Homo-oligomer: A and B are copies of this chain.
């Protein structure tokens, strides 16, 4: 293995000069820099990462702590994180699929000293947990978290706004008089925000109409079950808004089984825009979230915090999302008919 000493010897200078030259510090003439550079590349010198971070106390690595999430969401998030990290010369250490909070704690502890900062996405993580498991010197940005603390940056998808916008679309633009809502698990922050958006939009765009919330669990099966209860009522709703796409899929299957036409007999909308959404028949109207952007922003926020030596104030911010109109909401039907 070739070390900095070999380069120094070959160049006839001290190791200090080599270090300075290669790191672009001042105190070495341009000619010497050039010579050292040339020799370093010729010898294929690569600085020893551990030795360097032993003294600089920087790893140039950021950790991603993720729950057991699947499919597109996961890969899009990593894609965003990875791209932004590479652009800044940082590395990405991932640790995913933590079902339990204990697992997350050990994972967090194991990352200790390996990372300069953390991106944390976990529905169960709260402030006390972080205080207990995260050394306060390590900066962290929390994704989709209910935590509001000056100690951490928080970056959320605008679940409230997205749900509100979808409801606006259904009630005002498509013209449904009433919309039922299939909610997500109560413990989930995203789910709560989406329901809040539903309720707010109902009171605004359908004043006097009572909210109609059926519980779900973010799974296809729970969506199917929720749809079944809705259809079992004497007055079945003419439009259903599911708090995520998987439940919307469950609803769609239940509706088809019941012989209902979507969207003519019953309209449907989801949330997330998973890739499946556009391949359903009919394609699912839903709310798109730019996951990769979320990851990118998170990493950039973190990188800034690492560069800034002083503590600029931590902030909570949200990332917008947009309504994608496809086949299930009945928008074409309304547009086709004369206004």
Contacts and interface: CB of A to CB of B under 8 A. Distances in A.
Interface of A: 46-54, 59, 61, 69-72, 74-75, 78-79, 82-83, 86, 89, 91-97, 107, 109-114, 249, 275-276, 279-281
Given A82-B95, A279-B280, 4 more contacts: A71-B275, A72-B75, A79-B96, A86-B95
A94 B94 contact: yes
Q: 7 closest pairs, A vs B, by CB?
A: A74-B75, A50-B54, A50-B53, A49-B113, A50-B50, A281-B281, A75-B75
A15 to B, nearest CB: 16
B93 A91 contact: yes
A92 B95 contact: yes
B70 A59 contact: no
A50 B46 contact: no
A5 B162 CA distance: 54
Contact of A82 (B71, B72, B94, B275): B94
Contact of A59 (B50, B83, B276, B280): B50
B46 A112 contact: yes
B61 A54 contact: no
A63 to B, nearest CB: 9
Given A114-B49, A279-B280, A78 B82 contact: no
